[in-house]
Amino acid sequence: MQTDHRGRFSPFHGTTVLAVRRNGRVIVAGDGQVTMNDTIVKHRARKVRRIYHDRIIVGFAGATADALTLSEKLEAKLEKSNGNLTRAAVDLARDWRTDKMLRRLEALMVAADAGKTYLLSGTGDIIEPDEDIIAIGSGAVAAQAAATALMRHSPLDPLEIVKHAMAIAASLCVYTNSEITIEEITSNGSIEAG
């Protein structure tokens, strides 16, 4: 993870993950760049993946080991709640906020199923986006702004919106590249290859 000019943890460096929901489809995409301080150490990391019988897509920004730990914890909560993403997200956020080990994890997560999309943070926040668009990471502002404009002013399908928005984020953010992983779930629960 990156720190700001005062040495404080800054959760907004290192990646871009974008989720867009439109016309019964949810698309989650993440770039592949991994940086350590100011050096690129990997170009094709997979920051978006499917969990819980391929019914949930998660994307993460932050320290990789921390993000994978959160993903595993969310999957365990999904098993306990029979795949109810809302209940699992609330349980994970509660644990994340109160557990000493989890509180130290430096990551943000987007989780989506056929019906809901959430941003989960270490402060215990569970945010459901107003406009069916949510982004995290260093290029989040660029990706979310581009996706919002495309949603409001174009008839593009959500896959094209995500591709264009991620390309814009990669062109503006030095911590985001154009090696994009994309996953999709439709409202009937079918999954498209990314």
Taking only the tens place, the pLDDT of each residue in 9-51 is 444 457 899 999 999 999 999 999 888 878 888 898 899 999 9
- Gap between the Cα atoms of 14 and 16, Å rounded: 7
Which of the residue ranges 121-130, 156-165, 185-194 has the most confident prediction, judged by mean pLDDT?
Answer: 156-165
Q: What pLDDT score was predicted for residue 102?
A: 65
| CA–CA–CA angle 94, 136, 96 (5° rounding) | 15
Segment 144-163, tens digit of pLDDT: 999 999 999 999 999 999 99
Higher pLDDT, 106 or 15: 15
15 is catalytic: yes
Question: Which pTM was predicted?
Answer: 0.88
> Of these residues, 15, 35, 148, 176, which one is catalytic?
15
Is residue 5 classed exposed, middle or buried when 0-12, 13-18 and 19+ CB atoms within 10 A define those classes?
A: exposed
Burial of 154 (0-12, 13-18, 19+ CB in 10 A): exposed
Q: Given this model, what pLDDT does residue 98 score?
A: 78
pLDDT at 189 over 70: no
Note the pLDDT of residue 145: 98
